[in-house]
Amino acid sequence: MANPAQVRVFMEKEVAQFFDFNAMAHLVLGPLNYRISSQQRQGATAMIKKAFLTAFAANLSDYRGGKVKYLNISGNLNQGKVYVRLAIQLPNQYPSLVKLRFARGPNGWKIIDVSANGMSAVAHYRNYVRSVVQRSGLEALQ
């Protein structure tokens, strides 16, 4: 089993660069973007990034001996939005369907959402942030 500190460093150095966590946080926060300060927005972005990378690392640790099959690419390059669908087949399991949502931003094409078996990370973290704000108020985002 991998050392958790090493996994965190790997995720930060090697994996995070493929994601636009500012764009992801913008989608997660929705209308809340316009009611919070830039400091709260930065805090929310950091919270989402940490939670996402932690969950992603946990899911990756289960990936051993599987195969990835690219199913299709859809969207519109000119509009700056593309979706890549994958099937991940682990031995003796049903395939997991993964959909990566890319957007073209100031730093090129980055992933802004991941859906696994129909559950969007953005939708999940929208509920998570909503519950944090309901429990602790907007100050919890700082």
Residue-wise pLDDT tens digits, 65-124: 778 898 999 998 888 899 999 998 888 888 889 999 999 999 999 999 999 888 999 999
pTM over cut 0.85: yes
pLDDT of residue 62: 64
C-alpha torsion sign, points 108, 24, 64, 99? negative
E strands within the chain?
Answer: 67-76, 81-89, 96-105, 108-116, 119-120
Q: What is the mean pLDDT of the segment spanning 51-63? A: 80
Residue-wise pLDDT tens digits, 11-47: 889 889 999 999 999 999 999 999 999 999 999 999 9
Please state, in angstroms and rounded to a whole number, the distance separating the CA atoms of residues 3 and 34: 40
CATH number of 4-141: 3.10.450.710
Tokens of 21: 């966590």
